[in-house]
């Protein structure tokens, strides 16, 4: 039988093996042009492959506002220039002579010179850059995607006022920061004269916050669908201290820790994050939200972080462990009618008045602690904190952030009070410096409203007059006597916080008259 089988196999035509077939398909050793074509790496695109790598890992430290080492990576033309070391960043066709390649190569110890202070690029990313340079470092940016250079020497030009998504007063009350296109505009808070233009790489600035110490300004934003960025400015000097890219979409809801060491923000990838304010290194990431995170605020001791999201929840994170602790809002489906967009923590006065021998004295306010829930015996009590949150349903709500009773399905035990609804959705809330009032800004069908509420009462206290368009942001002057707000029309309104009367208004349009009284408004062009 064995001899018969051997004979049959010998009679069959000889078939090539799988490896032989593969070699034949690739052209074989002597296939000439076909083999060379298959052996060459695929063309690498600057626009699709290289630009996103530079954008995510290099632009933060090598942009016009912060040209470390004299090198810029924000434009194609700048990649070929020499920096402070007089070494050319890219030499087309010669990766071995390109300083960029020298800096990103991974050493035997697993580290690289660049990105500085961060993990090296992946081998695949490095290979793409090397291959692109070897192929001639060509620019294939589509004509429609080419944009004008925007930096301090080429500031943004406005044909119409920008939509204003953020305003903030400096803690000393001297400056008013306003979001613009590719920049933060810094105004004198008294004269409303433009003092500085802090120009960066983010097209959109979504949120602004001054540090508790008052020496820095944080701005978050980015370019939709491309990158998010945290900027930290020495605003008095107009110097960009930090540019840290995160995610591939715009960032929102920036806040500082009370000690000024951390900066928190929300992301469109459903995470809430925090970074070291000096280095930009990420120190916290919490991912239990199921939609964009639009607002953040730290507890008064900095040990917890509150975040609000379009997923209709407000969540509590322990900073030291990055651990999700609790849902501050009700976990019952349908308890909330829309996404949450804004949150602010209630400040507590450092002193309280005490009558003594016919005189009123200011004495230090004793700390207040939460009541420990009965289902968590032995857990140390936490400092008592309250926050106001609002969003799509137009109803501001006051919550305590730490639970004081056992969680029951269907309860909303942390809620203290609902306030009278505003028309439309609320995009911003802000507490008065003394914590007894808060302001909210809303928009609906091309109109807007700014209200001031007494924390202790459910009904509105004041409706600010002459708000002519959708309102997206609001900020208190540190004195508590004035309120700034702005929105879709590119107009900043300054109201008397005691009466709601419009004191001044101005249109954010660099080059136009700085301010006007209510009788002669600067209208958008």
Name the DSSP class of 116: T
Q: Strand, coil or helix: what is 473?
A: strand
Read off the pLDDT of residues 73-126 as tens digits, 9 standing for 90 and up.
Answer: 877 888 888 888 888 888 898 888 888 888 888 888 888 888 888 888 899 999
Residue 511: pLDDT band with limits 50, 70, 90: low
Average pLDDT score over the chain: 86
- pLDDT computed for residue 83 by the predictor: 81
- pLDDT computed for residue 475 by the predictor: 99
Name the DSSP class of 95: G
Backbone phi and psi for residue 58, each to the nearest 5 degrees, phi listed first? -125, -35
> In CATH terms, is domain 167-507 a member of 2.130.10.10?
yes
CA 96/CA 11 separation, integer angstroms? 57
Portions of the chain given CATH number 2.130.10.10: 167-507
- pLDDT computed for residue 82 by the predictor: 83
Evaluate if residue 36 carries a pLDDT over 70: no
Residue 71: pLDDT band with limits 50, 70, 90: confident
Higher pLDDT, 503 or 375: 503
β-strand partners of 444: 447
Residue 175: pLDDT band with limits 50, 70, 90: very high
CA 313/CA 339 separation, integer angstroms? 7
Radius of gyration of the chain (CA): 29
Contact 355, 389 (CB under 8 A): no
Q: What is the mean pLDDT of residues 506-511?
A: 85
- pLDDT computed for residue 335 by the predictor: 66
Nearest in space to 449 (alpha carbons), one of 421, 431, 468, 432: 468
Taking the alpha carbons at both ends of the chain, their separation in whole angstroms is 97
Q: Strand, coil or helix: what is 144?
A: helix
CA 232/CA 219 separation, integer angstroms? 6
- pLDDT computed for residue 334 by the predictor: 67
β-strand partners of 473: 486
Residue 488: pLDDT band with limits 50, 70, 90: very high
Read off the pLDDT of residues 262-321 as tens digits, 9 standing for 90 and up.
Answer: 999 999 999 999 999 999 999 999 999 999 999 999 999 999 999 999 999 999 999 999
Contact 487, 475 (CB under 8 A): no
- pLDDT computed for residue 10 by the predictor: 40
Read off the pLDDT of residues 416-439 as tens digits, 9 standing for 90 and up.
Answer: 999 999 999 999 999 999 999 999
56, 58, 64, 66 alpha-carbon torsion, rounded to 10°: 110
- pLDDT computed for residue 306 by the predictor: 98
Lowest mean pLDDT among 85-89, 243-247, 498-502: 85-89
Evaluate if residue 30 carries a pLDDT over 70: no
Evaluate if residue 406 carries a pLDDT over 90: no
Evaluate if residue 14 carries a pLDDT over 60: no
Evaluate if residue 390 carries a pLDDT over 70: yes
The DSSP string of 243-286 is EEEESSS-EEEEEE-TTSSEEEEEETTS-EEEEETTT--EEEEE
Beta-strand runs (E) in 189-257: 194-210, 217-223, 227-234, 239-246, 251-256
CA atoms within 13 A on the CB side of 36: 2
Q: How far is CA 268 from CA 109, 289, 311, in A?
A: 35, 10, 12
Read off the pLDDT of residues 342-365 as tens digits, 9 standing for 90 and up.
Answer: 999 999 988 878 888 888 888 888
Higher pLDDT, 146 or 6: 146
Evaluate if residue 409 carries a pLDDT over 80: no
- Between β-strands 66-67 and 62-63, what pairing exists: parallel, antiparallel or unpaired? antiparallel
Q: Strand, coil or helix: what is 10?
A: helix
Which two structure tokens, joined as six digits, stand for 68?
């470390």
Lowest mean pLDDT among 15-29, 351-365, 498-512: 15-29
Q: Strand, coil or helix: what is 506?
A: strand
Task: Please identify which residue in the block is written with the tokens 């400015």.
Answer: 233
Work out the percent of the chain whose per-residue pLDDT is above 70.
Answer: 89
Q: What is the mean pLDDT of residues 378-388?
A: 90
Nearest in space to 74 (alpha carbons), one of 82, 63, 66: 63
């Amino acid at each position: 039988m064995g001899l018969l089988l051997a004979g049959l196999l010998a009679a069959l035509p000889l078939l090539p093996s799988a490896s032989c077939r593969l070699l034949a398909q690739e052209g074989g050793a002597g296939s000439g042009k076909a083999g060379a074509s298959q052996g060459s790496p695929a063309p690498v695109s600057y626009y699709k492959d290289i630009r996103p790598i530079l954008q995510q890992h290099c632009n933060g430290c090598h942009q016009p506002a912060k040209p470390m080492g004299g090198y810029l990576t924000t434009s194609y033309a700048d990649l070929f220039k020499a920096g402070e070391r007089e070494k050319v960043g890219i030499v087309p066709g010669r990766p071995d002579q390109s300083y960029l390649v020298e800096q990103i190569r991974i050493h035997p110890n697993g580290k690289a010179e660049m990105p500085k202070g961060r993990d090296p690029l992946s081998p695949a990313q490095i290979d793409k850059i090397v291959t692109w340079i070897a192929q001639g470092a060509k620019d294939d940016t589509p004509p429609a995607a080419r944009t004008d250079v925007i930096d301090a020497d080429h500031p943004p030009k406005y044909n119409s006022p920008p939509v204003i998504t953020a305003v903030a007063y400096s803690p000393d009350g001297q400056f008013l920061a306003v979001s613009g296109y590719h920049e933060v505009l810094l105004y004198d808070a008294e004269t409303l004269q433009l003092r500085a233009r802090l120009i960066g790489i983010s097209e959109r600035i979504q949120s602004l916050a001054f540090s508790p110490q008052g020496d820095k300004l944080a701005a978050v934003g980015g370019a939709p669908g491309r990158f998010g960025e945290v900027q930290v400015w020495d605003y008095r000097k107009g110097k960009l201290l930090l540019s840290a890219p995160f995610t591939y979409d715009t960032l929102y809801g920036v806040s500082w820790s009370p000690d000024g060491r951390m900066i928190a923000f929300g992301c469109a990838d459903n995470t809430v994050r925090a970074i070291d304010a000096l280095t930009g290194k990420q120190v916290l990431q919490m991912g239990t939200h199921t939609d964009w995170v639009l607002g953040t605020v730290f507890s008064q001791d900095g040990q917890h972080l509150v975040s609000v999201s379009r997923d209709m929840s407000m969540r509590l994170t322990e900073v030291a462990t990055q651990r999700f602790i609790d849902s501050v809002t009700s976990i019952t489906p349908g308890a909330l009618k829309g996404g949450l967009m804004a949150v602010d923590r209630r400040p507590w006065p450092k002193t309280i008045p005490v009558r003594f021998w016919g005189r009123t004295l200011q004495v230090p306010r004793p700390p207040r602690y939460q009541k420990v829930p009965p289902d968590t015996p032995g857990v140390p009590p936490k400092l008592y904190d309250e926050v106001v949150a609002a969003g799509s349903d137009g109803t501001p709500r006051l919550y305590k952030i730490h639970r004081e009773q056992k969680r029951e399905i269907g309860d909303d035990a942390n809620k203290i009070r609902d306030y009278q609804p505003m028309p439309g959705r609320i995009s911003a809330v802000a507490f008065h410096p003394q914590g007894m009032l808060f302001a909210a800004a809303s928009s609906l069908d091309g109109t807007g409203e700014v209200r001031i509420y007494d924390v202790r009462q459910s009904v509105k206290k004041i409706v600010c007059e002459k708000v002519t368009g959708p309102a997206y942001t609001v900020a208190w002057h540190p004195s508590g006597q004035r309120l700034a707000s702005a929105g879709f029309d590119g107009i900043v309104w300054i109201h008397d916080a005691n009466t709601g009367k419009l004191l001044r208004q101005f249109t954010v349009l660099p080059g136009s008259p700085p301010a006007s009284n209510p009788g002669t408004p600067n209208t958008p062009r």
